[in-house]
Structure 1
Amino acid sequence: MEKVIHGDKGGINVSQSKSVCETVNGSHRYNHPGVLAGQGDGAGEVYVQRHLRCGGATSGAIYFYPDGKNPEDNSLYVSVFIALASEGTDVRALFELTMLDQSGKGPPQGAQSLRAALEGGPYTLKYRGSMWGYKRFYRRTALETSDFLKDDCLIMHCTCLKELLKSGIGSDIVFHVGDETFKAHKRILAARSPVFNAQFYGLVGNPNVDRVDVEDVEPPVFKAMLIFIYSDELPDVHELTGSISMCTSTIMIQHLLAAADRYGLDRLRLLCEAKLCEGITADTVATTLALAEQHQCVQLKNVCLKFIAVRENLGAVMQTEGYNYLEGTCPSVLAELLETVAVVDNDAGQVCRKRSSSSNLGMNSMDSVDLNGGRRLRRRM
Structure 2
Amino acid sequence: MIDEFTTSIPFMVGDRKWVLRYYPNGQTNVTSGSGHISVLLVLDSDDAKDVKAKFTFSLLDKGGEPVHPYIRAVEYIFARKGSVKGITLKHEFLEGSVHLRGDSFRIRCDVSVVKKIRSEETHANQFVVVPPSDLHRQLGGLLKSNDGADVTFRVGGNIFSAHRSVLAARSPVFKAELFGDMRGKAGDPIEIDDIEADVFNSLLHFIYTDSLAESTSEGATQEDVVTASHLLVAADRYGIERLKLICEDKLCNNIDSNMVATSLTLAEQHGCDGLKEACFEFLVSPSNLEKVIASEGYQHLKNSCPSVLKELIARLLPVELTAAKDIIRSI
TM (normalized to structure 2)?
0.53
Matches within 5 A, 1:215-364: 215-236=193-214, 246-342=221-317
Give the 5 Å matches for 1:26-45: none
1:221–1:255: 8 Å Cα contact kept in structure 2?
A: yes
Please list the CA deviations of residues 42-93 of structure 1 after superposition, one character each: whole Å capped at 9, or x if unmatched: xxxxxxxxxxxxxxxxxxxxxxxxxxxxxxxxxxxxxxxxxxxxxxxxxxxx
TM superposition shift of 1:264: 0.7
Contact 2:257/2:291, CA 8 A, preserved across alignment: yes
Partner in structure 1 of residue 179 of structure 2: 201
In the alignment, the residues of structure 2 paired with residue 245 and residue 194 of structure 1 have an alpha-carbon distance, to the nearest angstrom, of 30
Q: Counterpart in 2 of 1:191?
A: 169
Higher Rg: 1
Q: How does 1:152-171 map to 2 (within 5 A)?
A: 160-171=138-149
- Provide the rounded CA distance (Å) in 2 between the counterparts of 1:247 and 1:322: 15
State the distance in 2 between where 1:339 and 1:182 align. Answer: 47
The question of whether the paired residues in 1 share the 8 Å contact of 2:136 and 2:210 is answered with no
Q: TM-score, normalised by structure 1?
A: 0.47
Name the structure 2 match of 1:23: none
CA deviations over 1:198-220 (Å, ceiling 9, x no partner): 11113x44155242111110001
Residues 147-191 of structure 1 deviation map (CA, whole Å, 9 limit, x = unaligned): xxxxxxxxxx99810111111111111111002111111110011
Greater RCO between the two (CA within 8 Å, min separation 6)? Answer: 2
SS of the equivalent of 1:182 reads strand
**What SS does the corresponding residue of 1:160 show, helix, strand or coil?**
helix
SS of 2:159's partner is strand
Q: Give the count of matched residue pairs.
A: 192
Residue 214 of structure 1: aligned partner: 192
The equivalent of 2:18 in structure 1 is: none
Distance 1:236 1:340 in 2: 38
Go from structure 1 to structure 2 and tell me whether the alpha carbon gap of 1:280 and 1:205 turns closer, same or farther (over 3 Å shift).
same
RMSD: 2.9
Q: What is the deviation of 1:196?
A: 0.8
Instruction: State the alpha-carbon separation in 1 of the partners of residues 236 and 244 from structure 2.
Output: 6
Cα distance, 1:309 vs structure 2: 1.6
Q: Give the letter aligned to residue 260 of structure 2.
A: V
Identity level (%): 42
Letter in 2 for 1:130: V
